[in-house]
Amino acid sequence: MAIITKITVQKLKKDRYNIFLDYGKGEEYAFSVDEDVLIKNNLKKGLELDELFLSEITYQDDIRKAYNQSIQYLSRMMRTEKEIRTFLRGKELPEPVIQEVIHKLYEYKFLNDEDYAYSYVRTQMNTSDKGIDLIKRELREKGVQDQLIEKAIGEYPVEAQIETAKKLCEKYVQKYNRDSDRVIKQKLEQMLLRKGYHSHIINIAMEEVEIEKEQDEEMAALIYQGEKLQRKYSKFTGYEYEQKMKQALYRKGFSIDLIERFLRDQEDI
């Protein structure tokens, strides 16, 4: 048995108290506890503590400390249950303590994965250019259950998805203007797929954005690509050079008519 001989307030943390015990060999510092644990267990000078009681106090204090750390972590932004568990495991806390903290966070409504999912979808819709497949994947990585994700994704209507996809197309059409129309379409489709858009959203967006260039603009793109290829194939001549140029430019999406026109113009220079 041990007897509490003194209780003092910590200098830097006024809500924590140092407990001093006497095990029969004189007073010594034993441990510190949160104010709530102190009050709940009626800890005071002269109280006798056995090993079981000491273990229970330590367990309660571990929960309280972990709970306070979780609240501080949550104060920066909303978190999912999985994120909180990962955070607490990083502090090497035992699973029973973590489970009690999670229970308390739900009890006091600091945790709610459904609310988190709704908020996350709305935020991504308003501040990012991500499609719903990418948003879903990110929510799954954060530990949100599929049924909650499917409910929350309704916050991102199809019309808004199409509008964002169109803006992306318009932005990247300018970026890819030195490619052929066919390659531009391929790159736009690949870009939108990477960003998580469904194929039917991609098709609608690409139909509503002007992608095909005027013939002189397409020819300018071909000339740009052709001049780069000329340097690559400069060691070849005659028929072999012509075939390599045709094949390379055709793979880049240009029409045979424009390719032949380009090669004829080059011969006349």
What order of strands is seen across the sheet that includes strand 48-49? 27-34, 16-22, 2-9, 48-49
> Can you say how many angstroms the Cα of residue 34 is from the centroid of all Cα atoms in its chain?
35
pLDDT in tens, 76-108: 999 999 999 999 999 999 999 999 999 999 999
- Please check whether the two domains, 113-155 and 158-208, share a CATH topology: yes
Q: Indicate if the pLDDT at residue 269 is higher than 70.
A: no
User: What percent of the chain shows pLDDT beyond 70?
Assistant: 99
> What pLDDT was estimated at residue 53?
93
In the predicted structure, residue 72 carries a pLDDT above the cut 90: yes
Per-residue pLDDT reduced to its tens digit, 169-213: 999 988 888 888 889 999 999 999 999 999 999 999 999 988 877
What's the topology of domain 2-76? Answer: Arc Repressor Mutant, subunit A (1.10.10)
Q: How crowded is residue 185: how many other Cβ atoms within 10 Å of its Cβ?
A: 18
Q: What is the number of other CB atoms lying within 10 angstroms of the CB of residue 243?
A: 12
Q: Which helix (H) or strand (E) holds 24?
A: none
**113-155: which CATH number, 3.40.30.10, 2.170.8.10, 3.90.1300.10, 1.10.10.10?**
1.10.10.10
215-268 has which CATH code? 1.10.10.10
pTM given for the model:
0.76
Fold topology of 158-208: Arc Repressor Mutant, subunit A (1.10.10)
Beta pairing class for 48-49 and 2-9: antiparallel
One-letter amino acid at 146 equals D
Read off the pLDDT of each residue in 247-254 and give the average, rounded to a whole number: 89
The mean predicted confidence, pLDDT, of the chain is 92
Q: What pLDDT, on a 0 to 100 scale, did the predictor assign at position 241?
A: 87
Domain ranges in the chain are: 2-76, 113-155, 158-208, 215-268
